Amino acid sequence: MEKKAVFLNSWDARRSKIMTKPKVRKIAILRANALGDFIFVLPAISALKKAFPESEITYLGLAWHNKFIPGRIGSVDRVIVVPPTAGVGEKEDYPNNQDQQNNFFAKMKREQFDIAIQLHGGGRYSNPFIRNLGAKITVGLKTPDAIPLDISIPYIYYQNEIFRYMEVISVLGIKAYEFKAEIKVTEKDRREAIKQASSDKKFVILHPGATDIKRRWLPLYFAKVGDELSDMGYKVMVTGVEKERKIAGEVISEMRNGALNLCGKLSMGGLSGLISLSSLMVANDTGPLHLAYVLGTPTVGIYWCGNMINGTPPLREKWRAIPSWTTTCPLCGEDFAKNFPYRNNYGRCKHETSFVSSVTPEEVIFHVKDLLN
């Protein structure tokens, strides 16, 4: 009991040190990964900016963040692209360039950040990265195998991602109640979208891709939903990156009425413009689905039940989540729900198969009609 009290007093003392400083000039946030992961931290960043309106907030991310954030995310003042780093933007076995690393961290120390916040994950790789920035105070997540920061919040795998990062900033005395931050869609974004869509007819988006095959709904099922939407009078557009063109083609080939394949034809900004103009998106659990939530476009998302705990929007008025309750590999029986968070057996199963095919087209169509009518 006494040890716990000492820990809490230490925590409160550090937080008090931050909140009573005459001025917090510079805050760094580390989140160097993909689109969906980026969307999850936006409410926390927005709340952070409101709490420290005079502070410069620097986002430490990847090259795509540097292209996308300026002019669209008002709560971020500056983006710095981090060097390729094992476990921070690159795979864990990536061979770091030590000279490049040393030069980067020397430059970061000259920045003299007051607070550096790790929102990148459990911290095995990202906590050493954050500590090397030379900030006065470090804050962030920590798994049992990660080194501690000045203020560490336990990383427990099954937690809604939006709430996870709001919890991190709460230790700075910030009270955050907004679950959806804003992304500004520029006129350039809309022009790019309109040029590719080439239609004045109301339209909907199907997004059948996902990085992990386990999260991909069947192309035939997307096609059935697409035909239903076409019968309702909507033009159907299929989106994805260039390498997902084949998946999109499979969806379109199964449709009676056809659809426009936009895979690889839109920049991230153009995709934002397209989503903002669409009536609805039906998608797997992947970045564009989460982008649609922030942009206010109604969505029907297909989720594996484990990912549903972590990745679904907390609101349901316009954003529906349909879970698949398949927890074991359909081909070998490995239990992913039990093993995934702890990494003890995860990885033995190498089968590339969908875990969400138990979701039926009828379930999705029900929610589609409910949202559009």
Q: Which phi-psi region, left, alpha or beta, contains residue 123 (left: φ > 0; alpha: ψ -120 to 50)? A: left
pLDDT at 176: 80
pLDDT tens track for 150-179: 999 999 988 999 999 999 999 999 988 888
Q: Which residues of the chain have pLDDT under 50?
A: 1-9, 342-345
In this predicted model, what pLDDT tens digit does every residue of 306-330 receive, in sequence order? 899 999 998 899 999 999 999 888 8
Position 2 scores a pLDDT of: 37
Helix (H) or strand (E) holding 138: strand 137-142
Residue type, 106: A
83 close to 97: Cβ distance less than 8 angstroms: yes
End-to-end CA distance of the chain: 57
Smallest Cα–Cα separation from 320: which of 372, 263, 247, 244? Answer: 372
**Token code pair at residue 313:** 């929007």
SS3 281: strand
Structure tokens at 12: 């409160």
Domains identified in the chain and CATH numbers: 2-170 (3.40.50.2000), 187-372 (3.40.50.2000)
> Quick one: which of 359, 348, 371, 249 has its CA closest to 304?
359
Packing angle, helices 161-170 and 35-51, rounded to 10: 30
Contact 359, 324 (CB under 8 A): yes
Give the whole-angstrom CA distance, residue 300 versus residue 213.
19
Two tokens, residue 265? 């034809």
> Which tokens in the block code for residue 143?
């798994």
List helix spans (H) across the chain: 2-19, 35-51, 63-68, 98-111, 126-131, 161-170, 187-197, 219-231, 245-254, 268-277, 287-295, 305-311, 336-339, 361-372
C-alpha span between 342 and 288 (Å, rounded): 28
**CA 159 to centroid of chain Cα atoms:** 14
CA-CA distance, 83 to 101, in Å (whole number)?
A: 7
Task: Classify each residue of 105-117 as buried b or exposed e, where b means 16 or more C-beta atoms within 10 Å of its C-beta.
Answer: beebeebebbbbb
